[in-house]
Amino acid sequence: MSDVSPTGLSVIDEVGEGGRTLIFSSRLVMAANTTLQLSLLFGFLYLRANNFGGMWHPSGVGTPPQVLALIALAFPIVGVLALWAVWNAVSQSRESSALPGLLWLAFLAAVLTGAVRILLMYQFNWTLNSAGTYADISTLWYAVLLAEFIGVAAWLLSLVMGHVRGTDPLGSAHARAILEQWTYITGVSIAVYLLIQYVT
């Protein structure tokens, strides 16, 4: 009689919080998030293609500030690199003294990501009821991404605090799951930046 299930999990894993379950679920969340992003993409392309009443992107309505938009992408990328280093250290079971520093660096990148994105949205300066649907969907899309960045940053903070306080040392499954999530949202935000900045 085997205690190993066809799913590859041990009985212990099934009773406790299995690492594989965590990573699998995290990817499911990405799949669901993809539907949300595709819905917004559909809205963007649909409104742009039809340009009802010539009100897709009326003259005088600009695009998001270029420099700030690029800075808003730089910090998530720093976060990806830091989280990749964290995962690399944890997955190889290296007792690295740099690990808490890397975790804090990733969290700092997350905080700066949120702050710059809030500042960026404040700089849009669009009056939504007359700026056309380009401004509407761009604002909504940036708001959705901001909410997602904040959500993952909160998750990251919980991992950082658990690790540095020693109450819940970081495991490789958590490190990998959050790396994947952050990378996914960063990738989406790069794609959204390109779309909003250049497909006007």
Partner 1 sequence: MDVVSTTRPPMSTAPTLARRLNEWGLLLGLIGAVIGFIAGYALGSGAISNFYGGGGEPTSLGSDPGILLGYAMSALGFLTGMGFLNYPIGRLLGVKRPTEEDNAYLHGEGGGLGRYFRMTTDHKVIGMQYMVMILAFLFIGGLGAMFIRTELLTPVPSVANAQSYLTLVGLHSTLMIFMASAAIIGPFGNYFVPIMIGTRNMAFPRLEALTFWLLPPAGLILLSTVFLGGFTTGWTGYAPLADQNVLGMDSYLMGFALIGLSIGLSGLNMIATILTKRAPGMPLSRMPIFVWSVLVTSFLGALASPALIAAVLMEMFSRTYQATFFIPAGGGSPYLWENLFWFFGHPEVYIFVVPAFGLIMEMLPVFTRKPLWGYRVGVGGMVGVGLLSFVVWQHHLFTSGLAPSLRPFYMFSTEMISVPTGIIYLVSLGTLWRARTRFSTPMLFIFAFFFNFLIGGFTGVFLSDVPSDFSLHASYFVQAHFHYTIMGGEVFALMGAIVYYLPKMTGRTMDIKLLRYQFWAVFITFNGTFISLIAVGILGMPRRAISYAAYLQPLNDSASIFALALGLSMALFLGILIWEVVIKQRVAALNPWESLGVEWQVPTPVPMFNFDRLPVSWSLPYDYDTGKPAADFGPAVPALSGA
118 binds partner 1 (CB under 8 A): no
Nearest-CA neighbor of 103 among 84, 89, 81, 86? 86
One residue of 128, 191, 194, 199 binding partner 1 per CB under 8 A: 128
One residue of 154, 191, 194, 199 binding partner 1 per CB under 8 A: 154
One residue of 73, 78, 112, 164 binding partner 1 per CB under 8 A: 164
Nearer Cβ to partner 1 (43/65) = 43
Interaction residues for partner 1, span 51-70 (CB under 8 A)? 51-56
Interaction residues for partner 1, span 2-21 (CB under 8 A)? 2-7, 9-12, 14-15, 18, 20-21
Length of the chain: 200
Applying CB under 8 A, the residues found at the interface with partner 1 are 1-7, 9-12, 14-15, 18, 20-21, 24-25, 28-29, 31-33, 35-36, 39-40, 42-43, 46-47, 50-56, 128-130, 132-134, 136-137, 139-140, 144, 154, 157-158, 160-162, 164-165, 167-168
